Amino acid sequence: LAKTTQPISMDSYEGQEVNITCSHNNIATNDYITWYQQFPSQGPRFIIQGYKTKVTNEVASLFIPADRKSSTLSLPRVSLSDTAVYYCLVGDSTSGTYKYIFGTGTRLKVLA
Amino acid sequence: DTEVTQTPKHLVMGMTNKKSLKCEQHMGHRAMYWYKQKAKKPPELMFVYSYEKLSINESVPSRFSPECPNSSLLNLHLHALQPEDSALYLCASSQAGWGQSNYGYTFGSGTRLTVV
């Protein structure tokens, strides 16, 4: 059972900022939050990772509130090539075995 | 080298065939993973090798047999598959050993498997 919840899909226009939120109420104390991007028939690609507060790199920002029960991936000024599925990944230890499970992901469609 | 390389990229096999998928990484990563992904679904974890030992088998049918010959190589041996096993098979690796921390995975581009 996936431990993350994301919106199923989002549409945006080129040049806009896109924010995708992930809910992870049972995140482990020592776990990081990692976001991946996946294009059709390709493997997921690492975008960004964080533990708390804010992380920024050349492609995205990640905002994590103090309680760490959610996170928001922010993509500034999206283009058509950002159309993809975006997954957030955190650990899951509820079954007694620590593992990382992909949630359903968010299908982002960028329109011209 | 910062990549995970998977071969072949495409594979068509009959239900009586035996084939193998190969995955290679030269980043010194200590854990390697096999995932299965059906169309429009998220990747599903199949196997985890940590320090060359099988750590996780997610109740995968025995017609899938993983092998880790050394720290850089991971194979998935396929035998007597069913059409419903057709999917994208992804290999990934991570710097830390299994369960130590989530420092992020590096994924290969996958093998598109079709069982006829």
**Residue pair A56/A73 in contact by the 8 Å Cβ criterion:** no
Residue A20 has pLDDT above 90, yes or no: yes
Considering only CB atoms, which chain B residues are within 8 Å of A2? 42
SS3 B5: strand
**Whole-number pLDDT of residue A37:** 97
Euclidean distance between CA atoms A83 and A17, whole angstroms? 13
CB contact under 8 A, B42 and A87: yes
Nearest residue, CB atoms, A34 vs list B99, B102, B109: B102
Please indicate whether, in this complex, the C-beta atoms of B102 and A2 are within 8 angstroms of each other: no
Is A102–B4 a contact, with Cβ atoms under 8 angstroms apart? no
Helices assigned H by DSSP within chain B: none
B99: confidence class by pLDDT, cuts 50, 70, 90? low
Nearest to B41 by CA among A59, A5, A107: A107
Average pLDDT for residues B1-27, to the nearest whole number?
94
pLDDT of residue A94: 59
Would the pLDDT of B81 be above 60?
yes
Nearest to B24 by CA among B2, B43, B46, B56: B2
Of B48, B104, B112, the CB nearest to A41: B112
Query: Which positions in chain B touch A99 (Cβ < 8 Å)?
Result: 45, 48, 56, 99
Tell the residue number behind the tokens 């975006």, with chain if given: A86
CA distance, residue B92 to nearest chain A CA (Å): 9
